[in-house]
Amino acid sequence: MNYVDRVDPLIKKYFHLLSPEYPEWLNDYINTKELLSQKYISVTCGTIYSNLFETDFFFSSLDHSIAVALIVWNFTHDKKQTIAGLLHDIATPVFKHCVDFLNGDYMMQETTEDLTTSIIKNSKEIMSLLKRDNIKLEEVCDYHIYPIADNDTPKLSADRLEYSLSNALLTYNLLDYENVEEIYNDIEVQTNEERISELGFKTKKIARNFVKITTRLSIIYREDRTRYSMQFIADILKKLNEDNKISKSDLYRLKESDIISIIESSKYNEIFSIWKNAKKVKISKERPYNVYYVNHGSKIRYIDPLINGKRISNECKMAKNMIDKNLSYDMSNYVYIDGIMDFLK
């Protein structure tokens, strides 16, 4: 049975919205070993495992990749672009961008992309499928070359659109299915100020509502509890690596549940349990002592979409105010949780 036939009914319904005409040929790629390994990784970067966050819906890195591919297919019907969208996160490790934090890349969060080409190149299954379809490796290993699939912040791409819709619908319950449907059905391919194709809205009210939702998501992605949690997980992974409990390759080989089992059988189990059961973080303007804390910024993910070829920030004062307020979010506080001592010493 194909992976897409086994997903949660709500995810299946969401997939159908993104591309009512499902490209059956995509299943051959989805069912490869390398892509199926992504089904064990949550898009929430590990935050799903703590009571600091309200969500418990498991939307996987594979689900995200399939959804991106379906969006690309829906708007382009181009096989190469669609495959590039499907493969763009194939190098994602457990806990997703926490490993960027582990690598010190909490501002750009791009280090986990480095292995994409080599993973595709070393997959006999995927390379065989590409050969069958007369597609070259360099045509699908970097989705950045396709502006509908990916582009620079704050533009709207399939990738940015997908994680906005799925997070709003499934992860944080900010929208219901009908709202998502209204947003998605208002989108078309437009031409931006750089004369490049970009996804954009036809209706100002719907575009403004999308900005309202993505502004809320943007803050969730980098608020105090999120930055703390991602750095906390990253530092535990770092210590386990130093203790020879896990290797860097384990982050790409094992499931998140496997790594959690290793954490819970280690000397970090107590603090991990405190984090899992915590209801809130504490903040301070001054550096706290004798406690593990986080004090740094994070990547700012936000969207200033097109409305009939023009940036909504230039066409709607309400949208501009929402975006400006989002960009001014303060990340200067020291963030900590009582009971979690500084385990990095």
Q: What is the pLDDT of residues 270-298, one digit of tens each?
A: 999 999 999 999 999 999 999 999 999 99
Instruction: Check pLDDT > 60 for residue 109.
Output: no
Angle at alpha carbon of residue 115, lines to 65 and 196, rounded to 5°: 55
* pLDDT at residue 110, rounded to an integer: 57
Mean pLDDT of the region 249-266: 95
Number of domains in the chain: 1
Average pLDDT, the chain: 94
| Residue 152 token pair | 């620079």
Residue located via tokens 């533009």: 155
Instruction: Check pLDDT > 90 for residue 4.
Output: yes
pLDDT tens-digit profile of 169-224?
999 999 999 999 999 999 999 999 999 999 999 999 999 999 999 999 999 999 99
Residues of the domain holding 71? 1-345
Q: Which range, of 103-117, 122-136, 231-245, 266-280, averages the lowest pLDDT?
A: 103-117
* pLDDT at residue 113, rounded to an integer: 59
* pLDDT at residue 105, rounded to an integer: 54
Using pLDDT thresholds of 50, 70 and 90, give the confidence band for residue 98. Answer: confident
The CATH number assigned to the domain holding 158 equals: 1.10.3210.10
Instruction: Check pLDDT > 80 for residue 112.
Output: no
* pLDDT at residue 106, rounded to an integer: 43
* pLDDT at residue 100, rounded to an integer: 74
